[in-house]
Amino acid sequence: MRTLCLLLILFPAFAGAEEAAQNSPLAEGKQRFETHCGICHSLALPKSQRLDRATWKWVIDDMVNEFGAVWLTAEDQRLILEYVVKHYGPE
């Protein structure tokens, strides 16, 4: 568990550092998405989806409430939602 915590703290430094440097909400969302959404399954799983906002909201809720991603704060969830809606939307 301690190792996991350490990884969670250190990993954002590497994930999407370039975009995060711009410090925009979408860059933050990308960073959090890449940090958290590939822990239990490959990032390829969410990246393979094309979902609308309501469905993404539901998926993220599910990750937290059904599958145990309970460390994600409301802020994490909000920023990740904005990012996936933009990049993995229906189009």
Binding-site member from 40, 61, 87, 90 for ligand HEC (CB under 6 A): 40
4 binds ligand HEC per the rule CB under 6 A:
no
- Considering the complex, state which of residue 2 and residue 44 has its C-beta at the smaller distance from ligand HEC: 44
**List of residues 6+ apart from 67 with CB closer than 8 A:** 40
Q: Least separation, in Å, of the C-beta of 75 and ligand HEC?
A: 12
In angstroms, rounded to a whole number, what is the distance separating the alpha carbons of residues 75 and 47?
21
69 binds ligand HEC per the rule CB under 6 A:
yes
Binding-site member from 15, 20, 60, 85 for ligand HEC (CB under 6 A): 60
In angstroms, rounded to a whole number, what is the distance separating the alpha carbons of residues 63 and 36?
10
Query: Given the structure tokens 């430094």, which residue do they identify?
Result: 13
30 binds ligand HEC per the rule CB under 6 A:
no
